[in-house]
Amino acid sequence: MMNGAQAVLESLKKEGVDVVFGYPGGAVLTLYDAVYKMKFPHVLTRHEQGAVHAADGYARATGKVGVVFATSGPGATNLITGIATACTDSVPLVCITGQVANPYIGKDSFQEADVFGITTPITKHNYLVKDVRELPRVIKEAFFIARTGRPGPVVIDVAKDVFDTKFDYAYPESVHLRGYSGEYIGDEAEIDAVVEAINHASRPMLFVGGGVIGANVSETMRSIVSRLGAPVTTTLLGLGAVAADTKGFLGFAGMHGSYAANMTIQECDLLLCIGMRFSDRVTGVVSGFAPKAKIVHFELDEAEVNKNVAADYRVLGDLRWSLPLLQAKLEQSGRAYAAENESWLEKAIDRSKEHPFSYQPDGDAIKPGALIRKISELSDEDTIAVTDVGQHQMWAAQFFDVYKPRHFLTSGGQGTMGYGLPAAMGAKIGQPDSKVVLFTGDGSIMMNCQEFATIADNDIDVKVIIIHNCILGMVGQWQRLFYNNHYSQSELKGKTDFVKMAEAFGLRGYRLTRKEELETELPKIMQTAGPALVDVWVPEDEDVLPMVPGGKRLDQMVLGGNK
């Protein structure tokens, strides 16, 4: 016999959960009493949004399910942004929230909110538990749903009296869900058709998305890339699925992607798109996307096929099934694909050399590209880069070399400012042996800066690089380029002293203002153990280039100072 709160923690143990992120409150006090008594590993963040983003960062960095606790009403609704972020980017989370007790549900009680209704559109599944006997089954199902198929967040809203009620606990050994098995074995004939298309292509290209990383099939993907010897690009969330030094890797594609990647997409005759959803940030105007190519779409979620871009060939199924089978069939063909594609590959590589990501030096000013490139040079292949959202996010994607999957964490689909600091915390907790560096801006960092207290109290070794340009950078760039320099409510006065803020939270703070400090000071900072904030001043009017303007094709990108 045990109460519902104890049952929750016992169930988490059985699911292999080694840490929970959360924030207590009235409806979950019994749950937190169980945390105390059972000494369950828990990280107290300073805001529920910090907790859910930390769980997200933990999940992305480890491949495990991230877990978060929050109380009822505002505690639960503070999770909404993080749940939506995880849902769009297919991140496995289980969020356990308190609800008012059964007799008070539906009566506008203190700290009551319809969490089930609110989270329905932004979760893979959700539950309202009103009977303690349902808890073990629901938790077992929640973890199964979150981690299988296309991963995603699951919310379990638990009535307060359920935590208090004792019952005869038993954890189910298996899950039985009507209409959902979690297995997606597709039609092998679809892969045969793709192999035939590859055999007839003269200019094939691979386009790799975050689904490859989520399915843990990056090594298989790399073998296929090597076998084909074709140019390869990734989405923003796909960075790391293919190592940065892979021959023919063109960087990421899309609105701020590389010239070589975008132009090669427009020139190829077969585009193999694997584990991606054709975001508008990737395609440019859809009618002009890859106009010379047959499109192949390897996808787990049938709803994504033909949603944005029409596919000539689809392979519907789990990449853990489809990619090894594709690899085997390519090997069995006996064809020397790499030799056949050599001249096409070299043409793509030449494009990279002609128009690399670059920046224009400006006296003694620190250019963001120079800063991030230097940090990349100072990092090892196990370093995990995390970003917030904005210009710094794009510069990080352009100039930080990623060699391994789960080593570039960013909010892709939602573009969530405030994601970075808590996500970096979660990544470091999940991967304590890896260095973790956060790239953020003077706008984004203020969204969840309270988590510096969590970092300091728990001595979480994250290096926070603030690219300080005194403006909401991406907003300002669009206002500069498309709104006649009308900087409406985007300029920051630069009076926030981030070094003093770091010191107030108990962290070391540094400020860099001259490019020579990238050589004299930055290496020492990055090599010093322990968390630190580095406030780096950069020019306000620096644009992220290249750029594909809205409504334009990928080959209509603005190169500007990047040549």
Catalytic residue ranges: 48, 110-111, 160, 474
For residue 348, the Cα-to-chain-centroid distance in whole angstroms is 28
423 touches 409 (CB < 8 A): yes
Number of C-alpha atoms within 13 angstroms, CB side, residue 550? 3
Tokens of 121: 């559109």
Q: What are phi and psi of 533, to 5 degrees?
A: -115, 130
Question: Which residues are 273's β-sheet partners?
Answer: 207, 297
293 touches 310 (CB < 8 A): no
Burial class for 103, CB neighbours closer than 10 Å (0-12, 13-18, 19+)? exposed
Q: Are strands 153-159 and 166-167 parallel, antiparallel or unpaired?
A: unpaired
Amino acid at 363: G
User: To the nearest 5 percent, what fractions of the chain are helix, strand and coil?
Assistant: 45, 15, 40
**60: which DSSP letter?**
H
Amino acid at 85: T
DSSP 88-129: HTT--EEEEEEE--GGGTTTT-TT---HHHHHGGGSSEEEEE
Tokens of 522: 């930055």
Amino acid at 362: D
Taking the C-alpha atoms of residue 287 and residue 290, their distance in angstroms, rounded to an integer, is 9
Torsion of CA 42, 44, 50, 54, to 10 degrees: -30
Q: What are phi and psi of 232, to 5 degrees?
A: -140, 140
Taking the C-alpha atoms of residue 409 and residue 239, their distance in angstroms, rounded to an integer, is 9
Taking the C-alpha atoms of residue 506 and residue 156, their distance in angstroms, rounded to an integer, is 35
225 touches 199 (CB < 8 A): no
57 touches 426 (CB < 8 A): yes
Beta strands in 263-337 (DSSP E): 270-274, 294-299, 313-316
Amino acid at 421: L
